Amino acid sequence: MNERETAPSDRAGRAADITIGVCQAVLVLVFLAAGSAKLVGAEEMVKAFDDIGAGQWLRYVVGVIEVIGATGLLVPRLVGLAALGLAGLMTGAVITNIVIDAFSLLAVILLLLSVLVAWGRRDRVGTLIRPGTVARATGPTRSRPGLPRR
């Protein structure tokens, strides 16, 4: 097979990687903008957190988490973990919106995109949790002395 002839599975894998990359870029932009707006005290953010009734301290906490999560999405080693954290944050946002009767389609979309990126980059989460596991699993090893290498 030459460069122009790629297997369908290779094309599908590449398309999935591009799709996850685009979702990742969208999440970075949205969470940097939203987190920054919360941290600088944009009027609509202040009002939104007043409506929740938990106090403005929560606005700062959520803003910091969003900015850190967006930054983590830019670091290849941290992208899966950052997306997982943002999915958790957005799960809380969706639940909060349901409880205060202010359903937000944007929160649901951001949750789904975060889950998609976390799933698509799940291999990177595994290497953070169990460093060296991938290298050991793919590197030459012997299961017992005297057996040939795999």
pLDDT in tens, 121-134: 988 776 666 666 55
- Which pLDDT belongs to residue 93? 94
pLDDT at position 132, please? Answer: 62
Tokens standing for residue 4: 């122009």
The pLDDT assigned to 40 comes to: 97
pLDDT in tens, 22-58: 999 999 999 999 999 999 999 999 998 998 888 899 9
pLDDT one-digit tens code per residue, 55-101: 899 999 999 999 999 999 999 999 999 999 999 999 999 999 899 88
- The amino acid sitting at 43 is E
Quick one: 24 exposed, middle or buried, by C-beta within 10 A (0-12, 13-18, 19+)?
buried
* pLDDT score recorded for residue 138: 47
* Residues contacting residue 145 through CB under 8 Å, at least 6 positions apart: none
pLDDT category, 7, cuts 50, 70, 90?
Answer: low
- What's the pTM value of the predicted model, to 2 decimals? 0.76
